Amino acid sequence: MQRFLIFILTFFPLTVVAQPLQDFVQQKTDISVLKGSLWGGIAAYTDAPDTPLFALQADTRLTPASTLKLLTTAAALETLGPQYRFETRLYATAQPDAQGTLHGDLYLRGGGDPTLGSTRVPGAETYQTVLNTWQKAVEKAGIKKITGNIYADTSLFEDPSVAPKVNWENMGNYYAAPVSALCFNDNLFEIYFSPQIQGNKPVSVARTSPEIDQLALQSFVTTDAKNKKDNAYVYGAPGQYNLKIFGTIPTSLTEFKIKGALPDPALFTVQALQKQLSQHGIPVQGKAQTITDAPDYNSLLLLHTYQSPTLKDIIVIVNKRSFNLYAEVLLRHLALAEGQRGSLQNGINALNQFLRARKIASATDTVIYDGSGLARDNLITPRALLQTLVYMSNSPYFSYYYESLATPDDRGDLLLLRRFLKPQKKVKEVRIKGGTIDSVKAGAGYTRDQNGRLIAFVMMANNLAQKDEALFRAHEDIIKKLLEQE
Separation of alpha carbons 385 and 204, rounded Å: 45
Output the pLDDT for position 412. 65
More confident residue, 469 or 127: 127
Asked if residues 430 and 414 have their Cβ atoms less than 8 Å apart, the reply is no
Distance between first and last Cα of the chain: 39
Residue 134 has pLDDT above 60, yes or no: yes
Residue among 55, 62, 66, 150 nearest 109 (CA): 150
Residue 47 has pLDDT above 80, yes or no: yes
Q: How confident is the model at residue 43 (pLDDT cuts 50, 70, 90)?
A: very high
Q: How confident is the model at residue 420 (pLDDT cuts 50, 70, 90)?
A: confident
Query: What would the pLDDT profile of 470-483 be if each residue is shown by its tens digit?
Result: 999 999 999 999 99
Separation of alpha carbons 368 and 89, rounded Å: 32
Computed over every residue of the chain, the mean pLDDT equals: 93
**CATH code matching the domain that covers 12-82+312-483, chosen among 3.40.30.10, 3.40.710.10, 3.40.190.10, 3.40.50.300:** 3.40.710.10
Output the pLDDT for position 6. 40
Residue 65 has pLDDT above 50, yes or no: yes
User: ω before 160 within 30° of 0 (cis)?
Assistant: yes
User: ω before 265 within 30° of 0 (cis)?
Assistant: no
Output the pLDDT for position 60. 98
Separation of alpha carbons 444 and 364, rounded Å: 20
Query: What would the pLDDT profile of 160-207 be if each residue is shown by its tens digit?
Result: 999 999 998 899 999 999 999 999 999 999 999 999 999 999 999 999
Output the pLDDT for position 18. 35
Q: How confident is the model at residue 362 (pLDDT cuts 50, 70, 90)?
A: very high
More confident residue, 8 or 139: 139
Output the pLDDT for position 155. 98
Output the pLDDT for position 468. 83
Output the pLDDT for position 133. 98
Rounded mean pLDDT of 95-104?
A: 98
Three-class SS of the chain = CHHHHHHHHHHCCCCCCCCCHHHHHHHHCCCHHHCCCEEEEEEEECCCCCCCCEEECCCCCECCHHHHHHHHHHHHHHHHCCCCCCEEEEEECCCCCCCCEECCCEEEECCCCCCCCCCCCCCCCCHHHHHHHHHHHHHHCCCCEECCCEEEECCCECCCCCCCCCCCCCCCEHHHCCCCCCCCHHHEEEEEECCECCCCCECCEEEEECCCCCCEEEECCEEECCCCCCEEEEECCCCCCEEEEEEEEECECCCEEEEEECCCHHHHHHHHHHHHHHHCCCCECCCEEEECCCCCHHHCEEEEEEECCCHHHHHHHHHHCCCHHHHHHHHHHHHHHCCCCECHHHHHHHHHHHHHHCCCCCCCCEECCCCCCCCCCCEECHHHHHHHHHHHHCCCCHHHHHHCCECCCCCCCCHHHHHHHHHHCCHHHEEEEEEEECCEEEEEEEEECCCCCEEEEEEEEECCCCCCHHHHHHHHHHHHHHHCCC
For residue 78, count other CB atoms closer than 10 A to its CB.
Answer: 18
Residue among 212, 326, 194 nearest 260 (CA): 212
Separation of alpha carbons 317 and 308, rounded Å: 14
Asked if residues 455 and 53 have their Cβ atoms less than 8 Å apart, the reply is yes
Query: What would the pLDDT profile of 165-178 be if each residue is shown by its tens digit?
Result: 999 889 999 999 99
Q: For residue 349, which phi and psi values (nearest 5 degrees)?
A: -60, -40
Residue 9 has pLDDT above 50, yes or no: no
Residue 281 has pLDDT above 70, yes or no: yes
Rounded mean pLDDT of 272-300?
A: 98
Indicate the pairing of strand 87-92 with strand 301-307.
Answer: antiparallel
Taking the model in full, what pTM does it have? 0.93
Separation of alpha carbons 106 and 40, rounded Å: 54
Output the pLDDT for position 413. 60
Q: Where in the chain is the domain with CATH 3.50.80.20?
A: 87-158+264-310
- List of residues 6+ apart from 306 with CB closer than 8 A: 87, 88, 89, 90, 113, 116, 130, 133, 134
Q: What is the CA radius of gyration of the chain?
A: 26
Identity of the residue numbered 211: E
Separation of alpha carbons 27 and 54, rounded Å: 12
Separation of alpha carbons 402 and 380, rounded Å: 21
Residue 289 has pLDDT above 60, yes or no: yes
Q: Where in the chain is the domain with CATH 3.40.710.10?
A: 12-82+312-483
Q: Report whether CATH 3.40.50.300 matches the domain 87-158+264-310.
A: no
Percent of the chain with pLDDT strictly greater than 70: 95
Asked if residues 318 and 329 have their Cβ atoms less than 8 Å apart, the reply is no
Output the pLDDT for position 416. 67
Asked if residues 397 and 57 have their Cβ atoms less than 8 Å apart, the reply is no
